Amino acid sequence: MSTIKACIFDLDGVIVDTAVYHYKAWKRLANELGFDFTEHDNEQLKGVSRVRSLEIILQIGGITKTPAEQEELATRKNNWYVDMINQMTPAEILPGAKEFLETCRAAGIKTALGSASKNSGTILNKINMAGLFDAIIDGNHVSKAKPDPEVFLKGAEAVGVTPAECVVFEDAIAGVEAAINGGMKVVGIGSPDVLGRANLVVSGLDKMTLEKLGKL
C-alpha cells in the first residue's frame, strides 16, 4: 500500500509546454538588445524564475543593466509572454496530464501545483484545469526559488500532508533538487540522463500509473 497522500505538479514541462512561449519572448528581447538567444541557451531557463532568467540572458549578451532597467525588460518580456499564453487552449495540455490528475483525485490523492511561474493562474484557466488542483502554489506565493523546497513545502501544507507523503512531478533539475531538499519523493518528467536523481523518470504523465506511484 502506498503512503502517498498528495501529488504536487510543476506546470511548465509537466502539464503544458510553455517553454516555447518563454523562449519566443526572451529571444525577442535579446534581439531587441542586439544579440541572439538560441534554443540551446533556453534550456538554462527551465524552472528558473523570471528575474533569474533575465540575469542569465543579460550574461549571455554580455550586457549590464541597472535594477530599474532590468525591471522594465522583465515586464516587456512578460507582456509578450502573456499575449501568447492568453491564446492557449486545452489542446495544449501535455499527453496524459489531465487523465493522471483525474486518476489521482478519484483515488483520494490530493493534487497541488508547485510552479515558479507568476502566470500559472492564467494558464490553468486557459487550459480548463484550475479545478483539478486542491491547492495552487506558484511564483506569487514564494520568496525562494527552486532548488529551495519552499514552493513544494507550501503545497504540502496547503493540502494538509507531510513532505514524506508527497510525490513531486518535475521536468527541471532545479525542481528535482527542490523536491529532494524538501524530503519528498520525486518523479522526473523527461530523460534519465538529466533527471537521474529522481526516484523514477518517465517521458510524460501518460506513462504514469497509480501502481507506479505505489512503488515509489
Instruction: Give the nearer residue to ligand B16 in terms of CB position, either 53 or 111.
Output: 53
Instruction: Give the nearer residue to ligand B16 in terms of CB position, either 3 or 72.
Output: 72
Instruction: Give dist(CA 136, CA 130) in Å, integer.
Output: 8
Site for ligand B16 in 98-117 (CB under 6 A): 115-117
- The yes-or-no answer on residue 17 being catalytic is no
CB-CB contact of 194 with 173 (8 Å): yes
45 binds, among ligand B16, Mg ion, none (CB under 5 to 8 A by kind): ligand B16
Helix (H) or strand (E) holding 101: helix 97-106
CB-CB contact of 77 with 29 (8 Å): yes
Binding flag, residue 50, ligand B16 (CB under 6 A): yes
Site for Mg ion in 42-71 (CB under 5 A): 47
Q: Which of 6, 8, 13, 110 binds Mg ion (CB under 5 A)?
A: 13
- Strand ranges in the chain using DSSP code E only, listed in sequence order: 6-9, 110-114, 135-137, 166-170, 185-189, 200-202
HSE-CB of 47 using CA atoms within 13 angstroms: 25
Q: How far is CA 95 from the centre of its chain?
A: 16
48 binds, among ligand B16, Mg ion, none (CB under 5 to 8 A by kind): ligand B16
Q: Treating both helix axes as pointing N-terminal to C-terminal, what angle do 67-85 and 50-61 enclose, rounded to 10 degrees?
A: 110
For Mg ion, how many residues bind (rule: CB under 5 A)? 6
Interface mask (CB under 6 A) for ligand B16, residues 113-152, using x and -? --xxxxx-------------------x-------------
What residue ranges bind ligand B16 (CB under 6 A)? 10-13, 22, 45-50, 53, 78, 115-119, 139, 172
Could you give the residue numbers annotated as active site? Answer: 10, 12
